[in-house]
Amino acid sequence: MTSTPLELLRKYSVAGPRYTSYPTAPYFHPGFNEADWAEALTAPAPDRGLSLYAHIPFCDSLCHYCGCNMVATQDYSKTQPYLATLDREMARTAALVDSTRVVRQLHWGGGTPTYLNPDDIRRLMAMMRRHFSVAPDAEISCEADPRELTRAHLVALRESGFNRLSFGVQDMDPAVQQAVNRIQSGALIQQVIDWSRELGFSSINLDLIVGLPKQTVESFSRTLDQVTVWAPDRLAVFAYAHVPWMKKHQKLINEADLPDSATRLALQQAVNESLGAAGYVNIGLDHFARPDDELVRAQQNKTLWRNFQGYTTHKDCDILAFGASSISQTADVYMQNEKTLKRYQERVAATGFAVERGLKLTRDDQIQRDAITRVMCDLELDFAAFGHEWGIAFTDYFSDALAELRPLAEDGLVDIGAGKIDVTPTGRLFLRNIGMCFDRYLKEPAGTQPRYSRTA
């Protein structure tokens, strides 16, 4: 008998990774040190471009759902030693990286990067350009909080070369905004979008969250209607991850106000229907884009990739990430910086680096990462092509994974053919569960496993 979507959701709502990295961050270890990181930076990588990330951890106030590494403060003076530390960290890094390598992508995240005042926005971007060579056509993006944003901030970003913006909208319903301590009117968001378009930013992304307290299908449908009128180029609709054991401030959320699994499913269906009707393509997991967007084209061309910033078209770039808690990534290494402001600043002052932990991937890690990425990005996996690329007999190497996928095939989430796996339209809601079948680390004994958020 065919399961209903709600039955599937209940069955497959298990704790599991989001696969913005593989192996996942809990497997990064403190044995990975500065010498390892220096070695990774100096390794020749003539065909790989650079993707720079700067983490600005400051926020004016605390949103109760926040899952980011951030510091809520009204004391702007804290930004000054932080910017000086970023400068030093970039100088130490740039000295080790082949100077002919070009930056193809640059992103500021947080916290709230636009916590920085316009002068400091210009200063930080000038700093990054001093240390690295940024391609004239680089994709340069910044996350922005509409609440504290002025036109002067946007002018500073545009004049510094930014061409993409991402605004946190989350939910427009007043009761939900009250419950999560993030009040922002539709007029405010309309204003920042109008300014952005007038200043010539070429792409605007809006972030929404499903699963927030007091959310109903009716209220969120109004948010979706409003959002489609704003007509962003991309939308990211994240599922709220309630992990109060990791993010203590999430205890400020009344769990009784969180939508139940039936409502979460209905919310997800409302998102898919509303954004689909408005002409957006679901890239997978939580990302939507207009049909002519390069993310959609990359998916069609099978060049889409997943990293710590979500879906990206820049598969062949090493990510050099600066700032507290930021995660860098080369072809076979992950490295995470110290998470607290204090430790980050102390470590960089001492050596120029703030390596807290990291991981060098084995060849098996790389093969499994590629398989997980292919199903989550291409929504299909061709056994012969994949086997040829990695020099493996796919069905032998992944015999466990194929066995684990069989029940998912019976539930209609994937089609397993003689030489190929295809994710079905229903399976798109369960990409994390499909990826988990290829994850060898999840086969380790219970009790040694990290704790993840739920997949659905």
440 φψ region: left (φ > 0), alpha (ψ -120 to 50), beta (else): alpha
Contacts 24+ apart (CB under 8 A), 221-230: 221/270, 221/274, 222/172, 222/173, 223/169, 223/171, 223/172, 223/173, 224/270, 224/271, 224/274, 224/275, 225/274, 226/172, 226/186, 227/169, 227/172, 228/274, 228/275, 228/278, 230/189, 230/190, 230/193, 230/206
Q: Distances from the Cα of 379 to the Cαs of 127, 230, 304, in angstroms?
A: 39, 29, 11
CA 72 remoteness from chain centre = 21
Nearer to ligand SF4, 181 or 216 (CB): 181
Residue 420's SS3 state is strand
Least distance (Å) from ligand SF4 to the CB of residue 377? 26
Nearer to ligand SF4, 87 or 145 (CB): 145
Least distance (Å) from ligand SF4 to the CB of residue 159? 24
Q: Would you count residue 59 as binding ligand SF4 (CB under 6 A)?
A: yes
Nearer to ligand SF4, 145 or 382 (CB): 145
Cβ pair 268, 429 in contact under 8 A: yes
Nearer to ligand SF4, 41 or 59 (CB): 59
Q: Would you count residue 289 as binding ligand SF4 (CB under 6 A)?
A: no
Nearer to ligand SF4, 66 or 392 (CB): 66
What is the enclosing helix (H) or strand (E) of 422?
strand 420-423
Structure token digits, residue 423 = 């994710």
The number of C-alpha atoms within 13 Å of 98 and in the hemisphere containing its C-beta is: 14
Q: Closest Cα partner for 52 from 351, 327, 325?
A: 327
Calpha distance 84→87 (Å, rounded): 5
Nearer to ligand SF4, 340 or 424 (CB): 340
3-state secondary structure 52-110: EEEEECEECCCCCCCCCCCEECCCHHHHHHHHHHHHHHHHHHHCCCCCCCEEEEEEEEE
Nearer to ligand SF4, 111 or 427 (CB): 111
Q: Would you count residue 138 as binding ligand SF4 (CB under 6 A)?
A: no
CA 327 remoteness from chain centre = 11
Least distance (Å) from ligand SF4 to the CB of residue 312? 20
Cβ pair 115, 57 in contact under 8 A: no
> Which 305-334 positions form the footprint of ligand SF4 (CB under 6 A)?
none
> Which 341-360 positions form the footprint of ligand SF4 (CB under 6 A)?
none
> Which 367-386 positions form the footprint of ligand SF4 (CB under 6 A)?
none
Nearer to ligand SF4, 63 or 236 (CB): 63
Least distance (Å) from ligand SF4 to the CB of residue 247? 10
Part in contact with ligand SF4 (CB under 6 A); list of ranges 56-64, 231-239, 309-317, 354-362: 56-64
Least distance (Å) from ligand SF4 to the CB of residue 182? 6
Least distance (Å) from ligand SF4 to the CB of residue 450? 22
Q: Would you count residue 121 as binding ligand SF4 (CB under 6 A)?
A: no
Structure token digits, residue 250 = 């999430």
Residue 244 has φ and ψ, to the nearest 5°, of -60, -20
Least distance (Å) from ligand SF4 to the CB of residue 66? 3
Structure token digits, residue 415 = 């089609």
The size of the interface with ligand SF4 (CB under 6 A), counted in residues, is 11
> Which 60-119 positions form the footprint of ligand SF4 (CB under 6 A)?
62-63, 66, 68, 70, 110-112
Least distance (Å) from ligand SF4 to the CB of residue 144? 10
414 burial class (0-12, 13-18, 19+ CB within 10 angstroms)? buried
Q: Would you count residue 145 as binding ligand SF4 (CB under 6 A)?
A: yes
Least distance (Å) from ligand SF4 to the CB of residue 342? 19
107 φψ region: left (φ > 0), alpha (ψ -120 to 50), beta (else): beta
Least distance (Å) from ligand SF4 to the CB of residue 63? 3
Nearer to ligand SF4, 62 or 83 (CB): 62
Nearer to ligand SF4, 59 or 128 (CB): 59
Least distance (Å) from ligand SF4 to the CB of residue 344? 16
Residues binding ligand SF4 (CB under 6 A):
59, 62-63, 66, 68, 70, 110-112, 145, 168
